[in-house]
Each structure stands twice: as structure tokens, then as C-alpha cells.
Amino acid sequence: MRWYRLQRAYEGYFFLAPNITGFLLFTAIPVIASFALSFFRWDLLTPPVYIGTQQFKELLFNDPQFRRVAFNTFYFTFGTVPARVVLSLLLAVALNQALRGITIYRVIYFMPVVTSLVAAALVFQWIFNGNFGILNSLLWSLGEWLHIPIHPPDWLNSTRWAMPAVMVLNLWKNVGFTMIIYLAGLQAIPQELYEAAEVDGAGGWAKFRYITLPMLSPTTFFVVIMSLIWAFQVFEEPYIMTKGGPAFATTTLVQYIYLNAFRWSRMGKAAAAAWLLFAVIFVFTWLQVRYQRLWVHYEADQ
Amino acid sequence: MALKRLSLHVLLLAGSILMLVPFAWMLSTSLKEPGDVFVYPPQWIPQPARWENYQETVTVMPFGRFYLNSVIQAVSVTVLQLLTASLAAFAFARLRFRGRDLLFLLYLGTMMIPFPVTLIPNFVIVHYLGWVDTFRALILPPAFSAFSTFLLRQYFLSIPVELDDAARVDGASSFRIWWQIIMPLSGPALATLAIFTFLGQWNSFLWPLVVTNSEKMRTLPVGLATFQGQYSIQWHLLMAGSVIAVLPILVIYLVGQKWFVRGITLTGMGGR
């Protein structure tokens, strides 16, 4: 009996053991280590040197490269997230209709989500090729057809147009994912609400504005938070498509962290930059949670 | 109404074409003569289709090896993650022990921390363990997920606890309850988690990029990126490589698409 009770008391730890060992080694300890590391200068070969908050100060006030990549990351995030949310919402509403062939559309729009991002980035690099890419060929043909000379940019070699091209890849890849989340949200809206509104003579727009949007707001809340978190961490799209160029025009924060750690052997500075990234993500998530009452309607409140 | 339906179809069709063009262009380029890649106006249907491009691609780059590495990595991580996460989730959902809620809070707390924060210490750990360029480095660090544990715990909580109690009265051990009651009843959650963990690992890039450096340890995405570095303007070969990388997962998706979609709607999200 005593052995049995002892077993019951410690059982939880047995079940937890495999997971928590890995969790401590590869998540919990690294979080603490990374924080500590951000106060040291370390090239992985010579012993680390404690330098206090110097690297944070350097990044924030005295590093034009960091300023550039932070700007790029914000530009990318606020260029893609609103478009992603709006596009996927519209798609979901369209795909929620009783139409023939709806499953096929759904399958097609979700295809990019399962596609390897590296392969997708390679194709988009080829599509946006300035001289032989399919996009510029199309624009030239359009120009000939309309008898207007169109001079499309050399997308990926232009400091101005490279980032929008990267954003297009990101949207193509991810809109299908967000769309499915919205579809789930749409299907949870009780049909009676629409019927009641129709009795009151509400049109399509009124139903969308006063039923669909408010009822979907918890989904939108989730979608916006997750999209922001992911967008701030963008890495592969520019890494493959533009290598971060031209002239740092598409280098993002995570790529800057990667470069510092694995190209320039500045482990501490990379860790400090990673914590600044976390701080940004935290602040934006916190703001969303803090101000959700202003626009998110939960059923319990109504 | 008919007009509205028609215009909706037109819009959805146009969107579908935009979604499909990159795939078509990838396939088309992969079958072109090197000389036909750079012509204006571009040809959509290569004449004749040059299948030798695929042969050349797998000759200059060991795509077979990349495949094998990716399969080993993705399958191992998925199995380990499901196993360890379901055990831990069972403990959090069903067992009582000291420090349980505090530990769970610790798990939750780390879920918000972005991957780049732990990337560097993880690399240092792997470096000091001498695991760089081994399967251990590819498999073990991503095999323990707080997110999966959290997801399964929530699911386990929705299973009536009376089932456990009945089994306990009959003398079943906790381990048996986990394996014979909770796990079989969690099929949809486990399947979803398996699909998205596999997909996330199959396409994962940054971690394999950092911990592998020899060609024979590269996974498919990293191998493809290396390939790009070496054959940067040989578009016919790069696109053949991309088709090779994308095709199997697309086939799996097209066959089991119901599961993918159901998975997201069930859990509200998937891995990335």
C-alpha cells in the first residue's frame, strides 16, 4: 500500500520526464541562456566577455544596419498583415457560399500552404526576374497590346521594388491558411441571425457589416495576433529570393540575427537582437490583448 | 442571383489561376531546353518536353539523399513529439502532483517566445555536445514541443474523467489509461498534430541550415537552397529541383486534403 501511494505521488513526474527533459534542455535553459548571452561579447572560440547592456545600446542607438533591418521588418509586417487578413476574409466569405465546385477552389487556395517555402521562393525569384520573368513578359505584352509603353522595374534588383515582391510571395503562400481559419469561424455563426436580419429587411452589405464582421471578430483577433507574430519573424522569403539585398533593402530582423550569429560570430549581439525582436512581438501582442474590448465581440458579452 | 453566382465564379477562378500560375511556371520551366528558358515571349508548353532535366538535376545534386534525410527527420520528430507531448499532456490533464500548475505555466510562458531567441543557445548546446551535422541535431531539439503538449492537454480535458475512474476501479494503471483510453479517444487531435508537425518539419529551414554543413546531411529545403547557390541561373534545373521537392507533399495533400482542412478547423491552427 505504501509503495502504491508513493507511486501515485510521483507518477506525474514519470509521465512528464521525457518531455520536460527536452523542454528544459532545448527551450527553458536556452531562453535564460540567450538572455544572459545578450550581455556578453562572444565569438564562440574565445571566452565570453561581460559588457553589460552595451550591445542593446549599440543596436538601438548606434547601428544603422539594425535600424535598416528593423524598418524592413516593420515595412514587411504592416505591408502583408492587413492585406493577408482582408484577402483571406473575402476569400472565406466567397467560399462559404453554396456554389458548385467550392471544394476544388478550397483545395487550390490551400495548395501553397503545403508547398515548401524554399521551392516557392525559387519560383517567385524566377517569376520576378527582370529580363525573362513571366511577370514582366506579361506587362510588356500588355503594353504592346494597349499601345502604351510599360517599363516594369527589375523587381529583385531594385531597392524600391524588391520588398513588395517578397510580400507578394508571402501573401501567395499564406492567404490559404488564414482563409481556412476564417471559414471555420464563418461556419460557427448561427444561421438564425441571418434569417432574423432578412426578416427585418437587411441587405447583403448590412448582414456582412452587422452580423458577419462582429461575429467573426474573435477569429479576426486570433488571425491578426498570429499573423503579426509570424510576420515579425520572416526569414526564408527574403533569404532565398533576394539574399536580403539589394543593399540590405530586404534584410529582416531574423536574417540579421542569423548573420550576426553564424556569419560574423557575434553570438551575444545576435542574442540581444533576438530579445529586441521578442520585445516588439510582446508589445504588439499585449496591445492587442489590452485593447481587444474595443472591437472584439464575444458571445458571452451580448 | 444567377449573375451574382457567375461573378463570384469569375472572381474565384481568377484567384485560382493566380494561385496555380507559379506551379505551372515551375513545371513548364523544368521541362525546357536551357536555350528556351530565356526567350520572349515565354513559352508555356515546352516543345519538346525535356525530361532529361530531372535526370541532370538528381545527378548534380544528391536529391535522393536530401529526401531520405528529410523523411528521417520529419518522421522522427513527429513520432517523438506526439509521444512525449501526449505523456506530458496526460500528466497535466489527469494526474495530481506537486508543482503541476507551476510547470504548466512555465510551458505556457515559453510558447510566446519566438524561435530566434532560443536559436543561438540551442546551436551552442548542439555544438558543445558535438552533434553538429548529425541526425541528433536535426531531430532532438525540435522533438519536445510546449505547444503540442498544450494542445493535447486541452483535448484530453474534454474527455470525460469518468472513463478513467471506471478503469481505475477495474485496476488499470495510469499508463494503461493513457494508452488504452485517452490515446484512442484522441485520434483526431493526434492526427492533426501529426500532419502539421510533419509538414512543419518537412519544410523547416532555419534550424537544419544552421546545424548541418555537409552535403550528405542536408534536408530537402536546405539542399534546394544550396543548389540555388551553385546553379543560380540554370532555371531549368532549379525548377526541376523545386518540382522534385514539392511534388510528393502536394500529392499527399491532394489525396488527404480533407484531413488538412479539418485539422485546422479543429485546432484553430497548425504548426508552421
In this structure, what CATH number is given to the domain that contains residue B88?
Answer: 1.10.3720.10
* Per-residue confidence band for A7, with pLDDT thresholds at 50, 70 and 90: low
Which range marks the domain in which residue B235 is found? 23-60+231-247
Residues B139 and B174 reside in one and the same domain: yes
Residues B183 and B200 reside in one and the same domain: yes
CATH of the domain at A81: 1.10.3720.10
* Per-residue confidence band for A5, with pLDDT thresholds at 50, 70 and 90: low
What are the DSSP calls for A19-58, one per residue?
HHHHHIIIIIHHHHHHHHHTTEE--SSSPPEE-TTHHHHH
Residue B6 lies in a domain: no
Q: Which of B12, B44, B196, B238 to mutate to test the interface with A (most CBs of A within 10 A)?
A: B12
Residue A25 lies in a domain: no
Q: Is B96 within 8 Å of chain A by CB?
A: yes
pLDDT value, residue A150: 84
ipTM topping 0.95: no
Which residues, in sequence order, are CB contacts of A30 under 8 Å at separation 6+? B117, B118, B120, B121, B122, B125
* Per-residue confidence band for A176, with pLDDT thresholds at 50, 70 and 90: very high
> Which of A33, A94, A282 is opposite residue B121, by nearest beta carbon?
A33
Residues B97 and B182 reside in one and the same domain: yes
Which grid coordinates are listed for A257? 540575427
Bridge-partner residues for A50, per DSSP?
Answer: A40
Residues of A in contact with B200 (CB under 8 A): none
Which grid coordinates are listed for A80? 502583408
Give the mean model confidence (pLDDT) for residues B55-63.
Answer: 89
Residues B183 and B133 reside in one and the same domain: yes
Place of cell 522522427: B76
- d(Cα B148, Cα B193) in Å, to the nearest integer? 7
- d(Cα B233, Cα B35) in Å, to the nearest integer? 12
Q: Is A127 within 8 Å of chain B by CB?
A: yes
Peptide bond into B48 cis (omega under 30): yes
Give the mean model confidence (pLDDT) for residues A98-121.
Answer: 90
Q: What is the pTM of this model?
A: 0.91
Lowest mean pLDDT among A3-17, A87-101, B37-51, B127-141: A3-17
pLDDT value, residue B4: 81
Residue B3 lies in a domain: no
User: CB–CB of A184 and B264 under 8 A?
Assistant: yes
The residue with greater pLDDT, B257 or B221, is B221
Residue B11 lies in a domain: no
Cα–Cα distance list, A241 to A91, A140, A202, A246, B61 (Å):
27, 23, 47, 11, 20
* Per-residue confidence band for A299, with pLDDT thresholds at 50, 70 and 90: low
User: CB–CB of B84 and A18 under 8 A?
Assistant: yes
Q: Please name which of B127, B122, B125, B118 lies closest in space to residue A274, comparing C-alpha atoms.
A: B118
Tell me which chain A residue has its CA closest to the CA of residue B15: A109
Residue A131 lies in a domain: yes
Residues B68 and B140 reside in one and the same domain: yes
pLDDT value, residue B265: 65
Residues of B in contact with A181 (CB under 8 A): 264-265, 268-269
Q: Measured between CA atoms, how close is B244 to chain A, in angstroms?
A: 9
* Per-residue confidence band for A2, with pLDDT thresholds at 50, 70 and 90: low
Residue A292 lies in a domain: yes
Which grid coordinates are listed for B235? 532555371
Residues B148 and B204 reside in one and the same domain: yes
Domains held by chain B: number: 2
Which range marks the domain in which residue A99 is found? 55-301
Residues of B in contact with A267 (CB under 8 A): 120, 124
Domains held by chain A: number: 1
Residue B185 lies in a domain: yes
Cα–Cα distance list, A42 to A267, B119, B261 (Å):
6, 15, 45
pLDDT value, residue A45: 87
Give the mean model confidence (pLDDT) for residues B217-226.
Answer: 92
Residues B54 and B81 reside in one and the same domain: no
Residues B36 and B95 reside in one and the same domain: no
- Using alpha carbons only, how large is chain A's radius of gyration in Å? 25
Tens of pLDDT, residue by residue over A186-243, are: 888 888 888 898 898 888 888 899 999 999 998 999 899 999 999 999 999 999 999 8
Residues B121 and B165 reside in one and the same domain: yes
Residue A24 lies in a domain: no
Residue A210 lies in a domain: yes
Q: Is the pLDDT of residue A270 over 50?
A: yes
Tens of pLDDT, residue by residue over B110-163, are: 888 889 999 999 999 999 999 999 999 999 999 999 989 998 998 899 899 999
- d(Cα A39, Cα A268) in Å, to the nearest integer? 7
- d(Cα A256, Cα A260) in Å, to the nearest integer? 6
pLDDT value, residue B272: 33
